[in-house]
A = this chain, B = another copy of it.
Amino acid sequence: MLRVSRRSILLASASVPLALAGFRATDSGRAAESAPSQKPATPVVKDVTRTLAGYIVKAKYDDLPPNVRKEGVRTLLNWVGVAIGGSSQPATHIAVSALTPFSGPPQASLLGRRERFDILNASFLNGVASHILDFDDTHLRTVIHPAGPVVPAILALAEMQPVAGKAFLNALVLGVETECRIGNAVSPEHYDMGWNVTGTAGVFGSAAAAGKLLGLDEQQMVWALGLAASQPVGLRESFGSMNKSFNPGRAASNGLLSAVLAAKNFTSSDEMIEARAGWANTLSTRQDYAEITSGLGQRYEAALNTYKPFACGVVMHPAIDAAIQLRNENELPSDQIARVDLKVNPRVVGTTGKKTPQDGLQGKFSIYHAVAVALVEGAAGEKQFSDRAVRDPVIIDLRAKVVPVVDPSIKSDQVDMTIVLNDGRSFHKYIDHAVGSLEVPMSDQALEKKFADLADGVIPPQQARQVMDLCWGVENLANAADIAKAAASA
C-alpha cells in the first residue's frame, strides 16, 4: 500500500497552465516534473513517517518476544560498561569542562563521574563517553552503533521522571528498532556518501525512545521524527578525532530535544523521512521504505545487535581474532616475524588504512597497529589502543611487516592470515566469522568480563558488580534511573 502511486490523483488536480511549462503544482507545495504520458509515473511514497510513528506510539513491552527483550538487556549492559569506561577519557573531560558553565539543573548523572547536568547535556556527555573507546555495540548490516544515541537520552529522562524498567526496556528497543530500520532503508549508499550513520540515523532512535517515554501521541511522534530528520550528525571524515564520539552524543541530545519540542506541539512536516526534499532522498541515493514499515512488531532489528570484544571498529575484528588465535596456538616471537600477510575485505582499507598512527585514537583506525599489537600482547582491549601501545617500538617495528591485501571475495567478518617467520616457517588462519559477530556472539559471561575491565580503575569492583546486576534485572526495576545513579561516582 505504501508504494501505491497517488500521482494520478495529483495530476488530475494540477493546474493546466503550470503543466504547460513542464511543471505541475501539487497541493503539498512541491514541484513535480510532469512525466510523458506514455511512461509510468514515479511512485509517490506516502505515510512512511506516520506508519513508523504510529507503531512506536502503540508498541507495548508485553509485545516484545523474549529474545528481543534479552538482546535489549545485553545492549543496555554493554552500553553502561563502555560509558563508564569512556568517562575518564580526555574527550569526556574536555566536553564536561566546556559545557559546565551552560548546564541547567543537575537533573541527570554522568556515568562513572561525579558531575550532574540537565538531561540534554547529560545525554550528550554520556553519549560521547560511550563511544570514545570505539568499543560499543554494532548493528552489522548498517554499522550503526545503536545504543549510543538512544540509551543516554532515556536514562537521563528516567532520572527526571521515574520510568519503570519494563517501559524503559521497551523504549530502548523501539529506539534501536527505529534507527536501524531507517539505516537499513538507505544502506550502504548513505554511509558510502560520507555519512556516519550512527549519528544520522541515530537521532531518530533517540527521538523515538524519548518520545515514547514522554507519552507523545501519533502526531507528536511524527513531528519528533521530523525534527530529528532536520538534525543528522556526523561525517566519516571525523573518524580518528574526538568529533567521531561527538556524533552519537549529539544524536542523543538532538533526538531528545526533538521529543521535548514535539511534546509541546512544535510542528514539522508529516513526511520528513520520505518526502522528495526529505531525509532519505536528500541523504542517500538509495531508499527502500519497506525496510522501515514492513513487519513492524514482527521482525526486530534490535535482536541483531552485536558487541565488540575488541576496542576498535568491527572491520578489524576478524584480523585481530586471527592474530590472537595464531599467537595462542603457536610460538611467535615478534622479532622472528618476517611478514604478516592478510587478505581483507575492501572496507578494511577504506576506514582503517592508517599506516603510521600517532596516538591511541589513530591506532583504532590502523589495521597495521591492530594486528601488530594483537600479536605482541594477545589482546585488543582499550590498553592496546592507548598512546603507550601505539608508540611501543616493538609494535611499531612489527606493524611495518603487516601487509593487508584487499580481496573482494573476503566478507566483512572474514580474514585470511598467513604469518611467515624469518626461518621460513609459516602459520595460517582463516576466520569465517569473527568473535563478536552474530554467528559467534559474545556470551553473557564475556560481556560481564568486558564490563568489569572497562570499569576497572573508574569505579570500585563492588559498584561495578551492583550496576551489572541492576542492568540484568532492569525489567524488575521500579525506576530504571537506579542504573544511572548506581553507575555514577560517589
Contact = CB atoms under 8 A, between A and B. Distances in A.
Interface stretch (A204-212, A236-244, A298-306, A379-387): A236-244
Most buried by B among A22, A27, A235, A268: A235
Contacts of A471: none
Nearest to A282: B194
A213 interface: no
Contact of A260 (B29, B98, B250): B98
Nearest to A239: B29
Question: Can you list the 9 inter-chain pairs with the closest CB atoms, starting with the nearest?
Answer: A194-B282, A21-B406, A25-B353, A31-B350, A236-B277, A194-B277, A243-B268, A237-B275, A237-B278
Interface string A324-363: 0000000000000000000000100111111110000010
A307 interface: no
A266 B242 contact: yes
Contacts of A351: 29, 31
Contacts of A95: 261, 264, 266
A20 interface: yes
A294 interface: no
A107 to B, nearest CB: 8
Given A235-B278, A241-B268, A346 B102 contact: no
Contacts of A230: 199, 233-235, 238, 243, 246-247, 250
A476 interface: no
A297 B120 CA distance: 39
Interface string A389-406: 000000000000001111
A440 interface: no
Contact of A276 (B22, B194, B355): B194
21 contacts: A15-B355, A15-B403, A21-B346, A21-B407, A22-B406, A23-B350, A25-B355, A27-B355, A29-B351, A30-B350, A94-B264, A95-B264, A98-B263, A98-B264, A101-B118, A193-B282, A230-B235, A230-B238, A230-B243, A237-B272, A246-B261
A107 B101 CA distance: 10
Contacts of A247: 230
A30 to B, nearest CB: 7
Nearest to A97: B264
Contacts of A103: 104, 118
B231 A405 contact: no
A232 to B, nearest CB: 7
A136 to B, nearest CB: 18
Contacts of A269: 237-241, 243
A18 B406 contact: yes
A27 B356 contact: yes
Contacts of A99: 260
A150 interface: no
A91 interface: yes
Given A232-B232, A250-B231, A282-B195, A403 B238 contact: no
A27 B104 contact: no
Nearest to A231: B233
Given A27-B356, A260-B99, A365-B29, A226 B240 contact: no
A267 interface: yes
A364 to B, nearest CB: 10
A88 interface: no
B233 A246 contact: no
A26 interface: yes
A294 to B, nearest CB: 23
A346 B268 contact: no
Interface string A25-42: 111111100000000000
B98 A261 contact: yes
A310 interface: no
A163 to B, nearest CB: 17
Given A25-B353, A230-B243, A230-B247, A265 B408 contact: no
A27 B282 contact: no
B242 A268 contact: yes
A220 to B, nearest CB: 12
A279 interface: yes
A416 interface: no
Contacts of A418: none
A346 B98 contact: no
Interface string A155-183: 00000000000000000000000000000
Interface in A107-126: 107, 118-121
A469 B229 CA distance: 40
Contacts of A295: none
Contacts of A232: 232
